[in-house]
């Protein structure tokens, strides 16, 4: 029943590098289904928040979300990410002013073309970013484009955007599951974040996350998420027995 593949790692490799036995929990199938359903329900309740309360949030929660995100897989395990955290009102304000300046050009001076702006219209976004002052924390996730060794030489990273994107998703998930809200914010171009946060040349801003509790009565756009059939394609050998794919009911994003 259990598939075995004894060829990994080959003896020669194991003689040279350390390996551990994987200790992954195995749940009874009904429990797996219940866990999967609960996780989907939890994640379906995640929303991007653009109106925050100024209620303080313990820094330990932010640190734990970063630790969770930093468990993400990465190309060659180079972990090419840096989470830069600030709760300093002066720094947050400087970020707000610089973000609003870039977004003013995006929205009002039409650096975003009209097609883009039409897509954004139902979200009600504009160049005002007051939430960057209000949210108790801002975390800017930087992608590390390459590492710098002690002798100053550059070490190449692999699949940086893919790796950092996965870490970003895990960060958002961790925050949501602990009851915090965030926004995936990209006030592009984001070079001002390197300047304000004093980051080195090998790091590039990837996403800015304001983090906190939603403001009282916080409202979010009514969005529809794609159904399972819209996002999943099953490929089978033409002669295989056709088995009906599961079809999830359509649902409203909350
Ligand atoms: C890469 C990326 C960049 C985004 N940039 C912004 C942004 O700059 N400002 C903003 O208000 N929302 C931004 N969003 C949030 C999306 O608008 C939001 O995820 C989408 O409307 C779906 O809503 P939901 O997150 O509530 O499900 C961004 C999302 C992603 C994935």
pLDDT tens digits for range 51-67: 999 999 999 999 999 99
Interval 146-198: pLDDT, tens: 999 999 999 999 999 999 999 999 999 999 999 999 999 999 999 999 999 99
Residue minimizing CA distance to atom 14 of ligand 1:
184
Ligand 1, pocket-test mutation among 185, 187, 252, most atoms within 8 A of CB: 185
* pLDDT recorded at residue 7: 87
Domain positions in the chain: 49-218
Regarding the beta carbon of 47 and ligand 1, being less than 6 Å apart is answered yes
**The pLDDT of residue 254 is above 50:** no
**The pLDDT of residue 253 is above 80:** no
* pLDDT recorded at residue 247: 55
* pLDDT recorded at residue 108: 96
| Cα–ligand 1 centroid distance for 157 (angstroms) | 27
Contact 138, 205 (CB under 8 A): no
**The pLDDT of residue 211 is above 90:** yes
Regarding the beta carbon of 176 and ligand 1, being less than 6 Å apart is answered no
Contact 186, 208 (CB under 8 A): yes
Q: Hey, how many other C-beta atoms are within 10 angstroms of the C-beta on 80?
A: 25
- pLDDT classification of 237: cutoffs 50, 70, 90: confident
Lowest mean pLDDT across 25-39, 73-87, 206-220, 238-252:
238-252
Choose among 187, 191, 59, 66: nearest CA to 131. Answer: 187
First to last CA, the chain: 41
Q: Which class in CATH covers the domain with range 49-218?
A: alpha beta
| Cα–ligand 1 centroid distance for 120 (angstroms) | 10
Q: How far apart are CA 170 and CA 173, in angstroms?
A: 5
Ligand 1, pocket-test mutation among 102, 165, 172, 186, most atoms within 8 A of CB: 186
């Amino acid at each position: 029943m259990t598939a075995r593949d004894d060829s990994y790692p080959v003896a020669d490799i194991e003689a040279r590098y350390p390996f551990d036995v994987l200790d992954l929990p195995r749940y009874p199938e009904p429990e797996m289904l219940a866990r999967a359903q609960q996780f989907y329900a939890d994640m379906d309740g995640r929303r991007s928040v653009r109106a925050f309360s100024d209620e303080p949030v313990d820094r330990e929660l932010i640190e734990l979300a970063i630790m969770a995100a930093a468990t993400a897989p990465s190309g060659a395990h180079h972990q090419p990410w840096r989470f830069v955290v600030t709760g300093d009102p002066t720094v947050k304000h400087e970020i707000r002013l610089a973000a609003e300046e870039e977004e003013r050009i995006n929205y009002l001076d039409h650096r975003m073309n009209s097609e883009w702006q039409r897509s954004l219209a139902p979200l009600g976004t504009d160049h005002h970013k007051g939430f960057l002052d209000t949210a108790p924390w801002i975390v800017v996730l930087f992608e590390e484009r390459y590492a710098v060794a002690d002798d100053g030489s550059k070490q190449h990273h692999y699949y940086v955007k893919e790796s950092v994107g996965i870490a970003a998703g895990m960060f958002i998930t961790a925050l949501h599951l602990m009851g915090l809200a965030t926004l995936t914010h990209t006030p592009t171009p984001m070079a001002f974040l390197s300047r304000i946060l004093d980051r080195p040349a090998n790091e590039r801003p990837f996403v800015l996350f304001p983090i906190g509790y939603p403001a009282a009565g916080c409202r979010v756009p009514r969005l529809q998420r794609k159904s399972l059939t819209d996002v999943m394609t099953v490929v089978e050998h033409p002669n295989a027995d056709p088995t009906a794919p599961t079809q999830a009911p359509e649902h409203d994003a909350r």
